[in-house]
Structure 1
């Protein structure tokens, strides 16, 4: 079960998984997927949607960035990226809050979508302002979101906050900036960014 095949694009949520892989410190092979090209048959066989990131670990397939982060934390426990089972309430809560509630609220804001007044209950997050308040409560005054140690939840939640602050889809509240400042310079994050930045397509020649 040591073989890891990682299908990704540097312009996707695969950057989150790359960071997680570098935190784990395991060996893996990168298979770059270009958005406009046909998807490799191996990828389509593993993930019929042809989405990245997709991780193949031996004969196991894991998709969805948050699920991959959680899987890697469990598959490589020696990396210490998940709390003990009895202490995982906050870990699960905020990892999947980031992958569902937060991501939907942020993406809808970025796309300029708004729920009609009085119909907020029809969407899982209610409204953007409430999500921002809940997020602030989660990270205010904390170095890590799920206890005293860095975990996979910080990889995913931190990625969402860092991306949102960079592109203006998350409010620049001091609590968010402080939390992200404590994560963005981790050695594994720097390595991951260097790898993905080098894979970015070059612009047209001048």
Structure 2
């Protein structure tokens, strides 16, 4: 039986991951720190805190594994320093704390093209985060690199909505690496990695996510 921490439980991938974790008989407890209270559940421990004010010595950091689905967009967070804190510093802090308290498995939502040497700021930042978490020596580290995520968003993004519509229409003729990655599929893969991740560092590519979505119908 397993205790897991979920960071980013109110986002698109995080919401799907939370539902799966709470329904999974292998999971005894889900620790999901959030700013606002989540719907109560017998298996849910929901510390109310901001990421910036995380209590570093709380006993709930002692988990078997963790999923990090934190992230923002330039539109939501235009300030570069604030953007880096949310997309790099906070996920690294969470990974550091759960590792310090004994976690052996970590599953991260990154991005297609993540590379610390990328000339693009977004993918470079994601690559830097991957490398930093990799240096923590989790016995099992799984990194999902989705492309365009599909699913219900809490905020309205008209341009992105139009692009998603076009990608759905073109899906039959697109290679797997260019298709929409359903947030629910990303969540499924990360949940399984957090529960049963194989030893070593594993990257789940955009194409692999798309193929997994196909097998799930």
What's the TM-score, normalizing by structure 1? 0.35
Greater helix proportion:
1
**Who wins on radius of gyration, i.e. which is larger?**
1
- Relative contact order (C-alpha < 8 Å, sep 6+): which is higher? 1
